[in-house]
A and B are shown apart, each in its own frame.
Chain A
Amino acid sequence: MGVAWDTGLVSRLRPGSGEYEFLVATALTDDRPLIPLPSIAEVVSGLSLRVRTTRPSAEVVWLVRLLSRPYVGVLPATLPAAVAAGRVRAAQPFPPALRRPRRSKAERRVAWATDIQIGAQAWAVGVPVATESAADFEHIAEILGDLYPKAKPLDVLPSPV
């Protein structure tokens, strides 16, 4: 089926990186990364903000070319995912204080909103999410489990790279 990658892993996709090599090597296997749409939006936005020209930066061009290849899996955004994301956000509107914050409140809110969508989208199609921030996604999985006890729980895995 595949494994959803969080934004942290997607941000490491660049020519020659371990994440890129892993994506190409596993493209046709059950370990294939499924790239979430909110992560794509966030990374493209970040890479575009850093190079303020009317044309997209070489990094954006490279990334979009990669993601448009037919062998690259994209995590689908579904109706159950949208509903679940909405309920999780309502249950926990602001980022939980799981560890000592390294970022400002506003920045943590951006990350929290994106992570909820990624977690809900992975949960909705029954695939695990691979992340470097296990605590955040484990918290999302816990909320999903409380909200929908009969559904298949969201599994959280460490980065495969």
Chain B
Amino acid sequence: MCYGDAVARQAPERKRAPRRAGTRTTLRVPGDLAEKADGLARVLGTTANDALIRMAERGALLYAQEVQMAQAAEHQLAAILDAHGEIPPNADYLPSEAWREAALVLRTGRFGPI
């Protein structure tokens, strides 16, 4: 007996999918995705189309979170750059060795003046 049989045996009877408002459409569903939708439909006792919509809704939520975080990261970086201001045209940078010493101060512990 394979896993699919066990799931099918335990699954409740298929019902009609809930009616949804929205645009009717025809789309080509890749084979592996159709299989996943079928599997989910069996577990949930619904139609493959309904399972596909539920998967899309869950995926849309994940995408929305990713986009939201990417946008927030972009916004935060802009805020950092804004707070830092422009590099002064004649910036007086630390000389090479002092720069490196400052950059590594957490691991060298040389907290003295430059």
Structural contact, B106 and A50, CB atoms closer than 8 A: no
Determine if A62 is an interface residue (Cβ-Cβ < 8 Å): yes
Q: Give the distance to chain B from A39, nearest Cβ to Cβ, in Å.
A: 9
CA A60 to CA B93, docked complex, whole Å: 10
Structural contact, B111 and A62, CB atoms closer than 8 A: no
Known: A64-B80, A65-B87. A59 touches B102 (CB 8 A): yes
Interface of A with B (CB < 8 Å)?
7-8, 10-12, 14-15, 17, 42-43, 45-47, 49-51, 55-56, 58-62, 64-65, 68, 103-104, 106-108, 110-111, 114
CA A59 to CA B98, docked complex, whole Å: 11
Q: Give the distance to chain A from B66, nearest Cβ to Cβ, in Å.
A: 14
Structural contact, B81 and A50, CB atoms closer than 8 A: no
Most central of B83, B86, B96, B99 by chain A CB within 10 Å: B99
- Closest B residue by C-beta to A48: B102
Which residues from B are CB-within-8-Å of A65?
81, 84, 87
CA A95 to CA B92, docked complex, whole Å: 37
Structural contact, B81 and A68, CB atoms closer than 8 A: yes
For the side of the interface on B, what is the size category? 20 to 34
Interface of B with A (CB < 8 Å)?
77, 80-81, 83-88, 91-94, 96, 99-100, 102-109, 111, 114
- Closest A residue by C-beta to B81: A68
Which residues from A are CB-within-8-Å of B99?
11, 14, 47, 59
Most central of B92, B93, B107 by chain A CB within 10 Å: B107
Structural contact, B77 and A68, CB atoms closer than 8 A: yes
Known: A49-B111, A59-B93, A103-B109. A11 touches B103 (CB 8 A): yes
Query: Considering the complex of A and B, which 8 residue pairs feature the smallest CB-CB distances, nearest first?
Result: A11-B103, A50-B102, A58-B91, A111-B107, A46-B105, A43-B103, A61-B84, A107-B109
Most central of A55, A59, A60 by chain B CB within 10 Å: A59
Structural contact, B91 and A62, CB atoms closer than 8 A: yes
CA A47 to CA B86, docked complex, whole Å: 17
Which residues from A are CB-within-8-Å of B108?
103, 107
Which residues from B are CB-within-8-Å of A110?
106-107
Which residues from B are CB-within-8-Å of A43?
103-104
CA A17 to CA B86, docked complex, whole Å: 21
